[in-house]
């Protein structure tokens, strides 16, 4: 792939296997930067026999010498971040000298998790099924202009004042909600001040670093978390996360102009999964649901929750291709379909007497939507050893070509297993 600044975005409901695609592409770049989300993400990467699950640190860290940045669009849980960093160091990676954090990134602190849990409890049957990592409340504070940023840690006295004010504000809110939980302001202050210097020491101007690198002809990957259908604007609102997961968020979330980006790779599973509540039009009935979950090992990397599974939904991915401006697709987990006799692809939705070919913004319509399926033969051969397009069985090639036609995006990569080498570079 000859592009200089590439965005990798999930193009379904997250868990598409972005970690693996970023890991493979990180081979050819100098910088990998996260632009949104926080520790709600769980990017699983296999290197040899080792498995790494990364929540906040970009997957590029597993390659020596790559600079890894967390942009201003991220909500940074500093305690979890250092735990992750220390775990990488303990496994022999010199991670810390290669990591930089935007001074403009907002801190996600323990009280955001308390608020996240409390909000979910209050929602009752209308639960979003959040990861409980405090994401929504941290972005609420950012937009309400009452967040605390990494840059705010420079001034010791000011940082303590902000933390105490936040604790008082959160406690007032908890009292108002009738909750018995409280934030212990002294503990909050001592915990944050204990990591203050270490974190502030890692702060950098991510936009400037990336801008300068691009001018020097270096290559940059902007790593998205979650997926297009979880985008706060373009997803299945309110069953979404609280950030812009789509490619437009990438420029904003690291601090460069959108014209600097020259490719957007949409990662999609060869079928569909979703974790948490909200519509999933192609969801399998039982027992196919459980069968696919076992075949694909579909359990959340962050929460361990079972993922809901369904057929590939071309309406979803066509929509994701448009809102992200996808230049190419990376299809993952093709091998999970190897044993199936027949495959279905949703090409449209039937709502009332009409066929919709556009993903609706109205959740009511989506709930009524009956997918219209096209059936294709399975290949019933292992694809795990395929390394070139021509190694794939004809039925698998036909399935992939049909995905391209229906979504309007060309396939650049096909992943056929968890290992680094189990990938087909269709177009590079």
Q: How far is the CB of 279 from ligand IMP (least distance, A)?
A: 11
CB-based contact 12:273 (threshold 8 Å): yes
Footprint (CB under 6 A) of ligand IMP, residues 231-270: 239, 241-242
Q: What sign does the dihedral 405-310-23-131 (CA atoms) show?
A: positive
395 class by beta-carbon count within 10 Å (0-12 exposed, 13-18 middle, 19+ buried): middle
17 near ligand IMP, rule: CB under 6 A: no
DSSP secondary structure letters along 48-70: TTEEEEESSS-GGGGSTT-EEEE
Cβ burial 271-299 (10 Å sphere, 16+ → b, else e): bbbbbbbbbbbbbbeeeebeebbebbebe
How far, in Å, CA of 231 to CA of 261, rounded?
A: 19
Is residue 310 a contact residue for ligand IMP (CB under 6 A)?
no
Check binding of 129 to ligand IMP (CB under 6 A).
yes
- Is 15 annotated in the active site? yes
Using rule CB under 6 A, residue 306 touches ligand IMP: no
Q: Given candidates 11, 102, 130, 415, which one binds ligand IMP under the rule CB under 6 A?
A: 130
Tokens of 317: 């991915």
Q: Which of 15, 223, 231, 335 binds ligand IMP (CB under 6 A)?
A: 15
Contacts (CB under 6 A) with ligand IMP, residues 27-46:
40-42
**In the complex, minimum distance from the CB of residue 230 to ligand IMP, in angstroms, rounded to a whole number:** 5
Task: Give the residue with the Cβ less far from ligand IMP, 303 or 397.
Answer: 303
User: 329, 412 in Cβ contact below 8 A?
Assistant: yes
> Phi, psi (5° rounding) for residue 7?
-100, 135
Q: Which of 20, 98, 104, 133 binds ligand IMP (CB under 6 A)?
A: 133
Q: Which is nearer to ligand IMP, 66 or 307 (CB)?
A: 307
The answer, yes or no, to whether the previous bond of 238 is cis (omega within 30 of 0) is: yes
Please report which helix (H) or strand (E) contains residue 6, including its range: strand 5-10
Least CB distance from residue 133 to ligand IMP, whole Å?
A: 5
* 19 lies in the site for ligand IMP, by CB under 6 A: no
206: left (phi > 0), else alpha (psi -120 to 50), else beta?
A: alpha
Considering the candidates 3, 43, 55, 234, report the single residue annotated as catalytic: 43
> Closest Cα to residue 282, out of 336, 348, 356, 339?
348
Task: Tell me the closest approach of the beta carbon of residue 43 to ligand IMP, in angstroms.
Answer: 8
Rule CB under 6 A: say whether 16 interacts with ligand IMP: no
Catalytic residue of the set 3, 15, 77, 152 = 15
Q: Could you give the string, one character per residue 42-81, with x where binding to ligand IMP holds by CB under 6 A and - elsewhere?
A: x---------------------------------------
Which phi-psi region, left, alpha or beta, contains residue 132 (left: φ > 0; alpha: ψ -120 to 50)? left
Find the residue with minimal CB distance to ligand IMP.
Answer: 276
| Residue placing its CB nearer to ligand IMP in the complex, 267 or 411 | 267
The distance between the two most distant Cα atoms of the chain, rounded to a whole number of Å, is 67
Tokens of 132: 């409980």
How many CB atoms neighbour CB 30 within 10 A? 18
x/- letters, 193..232, toward ligand IMP (CB under 6 A)? --------------------------------xx---x--
Number of residues that bind ligand IMP (CB under 6 A): 20
**106 belongs to the catalytic site:** no
Residue 309 makes contact with ligand IMP by CB under 6 A: no
x/- mask, ligand IMP, residues 273-292, rule CB under 6 A, reads --xx----------------
Interface ranges with ligand IMP (CB under 6 A): 14-15, 40-42, 128-131, 133, 135-136, 225-226, 230, 239, 241-242, 275-276
User: Catalytic site residues?
Assistant: 15, 43
């Amino acid at each position: 792939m000859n592009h200089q600044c590439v965005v990798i975005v999930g193009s379904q409901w997250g868990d598409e296997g972005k970690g693996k695609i970023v890991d493979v592409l990180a081979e050819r770049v100098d910088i990998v930067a996260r632009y949104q989300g926080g520790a709600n993400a769980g990017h699983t990467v296999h290197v040899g026999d080792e498995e790494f699950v990364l929540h906040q640190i970009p997957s590029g860290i597993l390659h020596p010498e790559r600079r890894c940045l967390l942009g201003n669009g991220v909500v940074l849980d500093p305690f979890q971040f250092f735990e992750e960093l220390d775990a990488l160091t303990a496994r022999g990676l010199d991670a810390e000298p290669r990591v930089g954090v935007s001074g403009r990134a907002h801190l996600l602190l323990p009280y955001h998790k308390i608020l996240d849990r409390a909000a979910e409890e209050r929602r009752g049957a209308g639960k979003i099924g959040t990861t409980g990592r405090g994401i929504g409340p941290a972005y609420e504070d950012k937009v309400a202009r009452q967040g605390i940023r990494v840059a705010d840690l420079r001034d010791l006295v000011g940082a303590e004042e902000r933390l105490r004010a936040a604790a008082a504000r959160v406690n007032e809110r908890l009292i108002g909600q009738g909750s018995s939980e409280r934030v212990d302001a002294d503990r909050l202050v001592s915990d944050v001040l204990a990591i203050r210097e270490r974190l502030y020491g890692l702060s950098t101007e991510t936009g400037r670093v990336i801008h300068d690198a691009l001018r020097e002809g270096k290559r940059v990957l902007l790593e998205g978390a979650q997926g297009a259908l979880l985008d706060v604007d373009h997803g299945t609102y309110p069953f979404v996360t609280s950030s812009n997961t789509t490619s437009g968020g990438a420029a904003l979330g690291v601090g460069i102009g959108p014209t600097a980006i020259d490719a957007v790779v949409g990662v999609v599973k060869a079928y569909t999964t979703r974790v948490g509540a909200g519509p999933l039009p192609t969801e399998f009935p039982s027992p196919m649901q459980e069968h696919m979950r076992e075949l694909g090992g579909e359990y959340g990397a962050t929460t361990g929750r079972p993922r809901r599974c369904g057929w590939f939904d071309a309406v979803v991915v066509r929509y994701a291709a448009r809102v992200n401006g996808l230049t190419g697709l990376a299809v993952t987990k093709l091998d999970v379909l190897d044993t199936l006799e027949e495959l279905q692809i949703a090409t449209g939705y039937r709502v009332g007497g009409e066929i919709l070919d556009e993903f609706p913004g109205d959740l009511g319509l989506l709930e009524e939507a009956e997918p219209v399926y096209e059936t294709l033969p399975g290949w019933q051969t292992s694809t795990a050893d395929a390394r070139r397009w021509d190694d794939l069985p004809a039925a698998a090639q036909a399935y992939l070509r049909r995905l391209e036609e229906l979504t309007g995006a060309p396939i650049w990569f096909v992943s056929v297993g968890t290992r680094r080498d189990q990938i087909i570079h269709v177009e590079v």
